[in-house]
Amino acid sequence: MTLPDAEALIGKLAEQIRREAGPGVALVGIYTGGVWIAERLHRMLALSTPIGTIDVAFYRDDYKKTGLRPGVRPSDIPFPVENADIIVVDDVLYTGRTIRAALNEIFDYGRPTCVRLAALVDRGGRQLPICAQFVGAAVSVAIDQTIELRRDASGRFSLALAS
């Protein structure tokens, strides 16, 4: 199948967020793809609150199975989470487990007023009651395939299938 153009999807996400979120909204990207997209959205929307970045490794529910992988990055939320209006940003929304972990981590920083979710693509397959308020595109791919967000040397994004 052909995957949609990632650059166009980011434009769509930016439009949706611009329409529905106030200027005080704060973005929190999930490593790695979510952070790339959050950085781009932050520039496109000229937001004033600096972006947060999180690596959910310490909150994952498959730690018992997989352990801690090398390459964990420090999470950093440089704004007060207490009473914040937050949009969590990820590249691919699938089972919802990463988002569950991200929500738990964010709440360890404080109690936000509101948390919404932006995903570049939603591939269905949810295993938890989680949905995104901002979605670039819904796509359908085989269960044994993964969708990867790539960024080339010039900073352009593209989507690719891997199995």
Partner 1 sequence: MPPGASASLWHPEAVSTLNPSLQISPEGKLLHLLTTEGLPAATLLQILDTARSFVSVTEREIKKVPLLRGKAIFNLFFEPSTRTRTTFEIAAKRLSADVVNLNIATSSQTKGETLLDTVANLTAMHADMFIVRHSESGAAHLIARNVGPDIHVINAGDGRHAHPTQALLDMFTIRHYKGGFNDLRVAIVGDVLHSRVARSEIHALTTLGVPEVRVIGPRTLLPRHVQNLGVHVFHDMEAGLKDVDVVMMLRLQQERMSGALLPSAGEFFKSYGLTPAKLARAKPDAIVMHPGPMNRGVEIDSAVADGGQSVILPQVTFGIAVRMAVMGILVGN
- Closest distance of CB 59 from partner 1, Å: 6
One-letter-per-residue 3-state SS of 24-61: CCEEEEECCHHHHHHHHHHHHCCCCCCCEEECHHHHCC
- Closest distance of CB 77 from partner 1, Å: 8
Contact call for residue 67 and partner 1 (CB under 8 A): yes
Q: How far apart are CA 43 and CA 132, in angstroms?
A: 21
**Sole window of 90-98, 102-110, 114-122, 124-132 interacting with partner 1 (rule: CB under 8 A):** 102-110
Q: Give the count of alpha carbons within 13 A of 130, CB side only.
A: 25
> Binding mask 29-58 vs partner 1 (x if CB under 8 A, - otherwise)?
--------------------------x-xx
**Sole window of 39-47, 63-71, 118-126, 130-138 interacting with partner 1 (rule: CB under 8 A):** 63-71
E strands present in the chain: 26-30, 52-54, 85-93, 114-122, 134-138, 146-151, 157-162
Contact call for residue 104 and partner 1 (CB under 8 A): yes
Number of residues that bind partner 1 (CB under 8 A): 23
